[in-house]
Amino acid sequence: MILPFLTIGPSENRGRGVFTTEDIAGDTIIEISPVLVLSPEERASVEQTLLFDYIFEWGDEMKGACVALGYVSVYNHSYAANCIYEMDFEHELIQIRTVKPVKAGDELFINYNADPDDTKPIWFEAT
């Protein structure tokens, strides 16, 4: 499920990103997408490819990984994220939920550390 007012567009200094064409209230689920689960061995192989920047750690011990379908892998990182991602290991889903109101035209961001307020550095230079 991807809400119809989400769109992919150019993101300044980030390549592509996910944007909204309508205002969105805080605490709104905007996307629920299935994932392709990778074993720890498959993850090790994928980490040597371009896909490394698009996978999520997966599983109770976060030793595996997943490739999220839908728009999930296109959300850019921000330390001031307006969305959060939530993992459903049992059903192999990731959902994206707003954590604050978002205005039409704004880019939607997640914090790659999983917590929208986590300022721990990630694997690339980010703002």
Q: Write the CATH number for 34.
A: 2.170.270.10
Identify whether 121 is part of a domain: no
- 81 within a domain of the structure (yes/no): yes
Quick check: is 71 in a domain?
A: yes
Alpha carbons 67 and 55: distance in angstroms, whole number:
5
What range does the domain containing 26 cover?
6-110
Residue 116 lies inside a defined structural domain of this protein: no
Total-model pTM: 0.87
For residue 124, the one-letter residue type is F
Instruction: Give the up-direction half-sphere exposure of residue 70: CA atoms within 13 A in the CB hemisphere.
Output: 20
Question: How confident is the prediction along the chain (127 residues), in pLDDT tens digits per residue?
Answer: 889 999 999 998 878 999 999 999 999 999 999 999 999 999 999 989 988 888 998 988 878 899 999 999 999 988 889 999 999 999 999 999 999 999 999 999 998 776 666 666 555 465 5
Report if residue 115 sits inside a domain: no
Helices (H), 1-127: 40-46
Tokens of 102: 């978002």
**Residue 46 domain flag:** yes
Q: What total number of domains does the chain contain?
A: 1
Tell how strand 93-98 and strand 55-58 pair up: unpaired
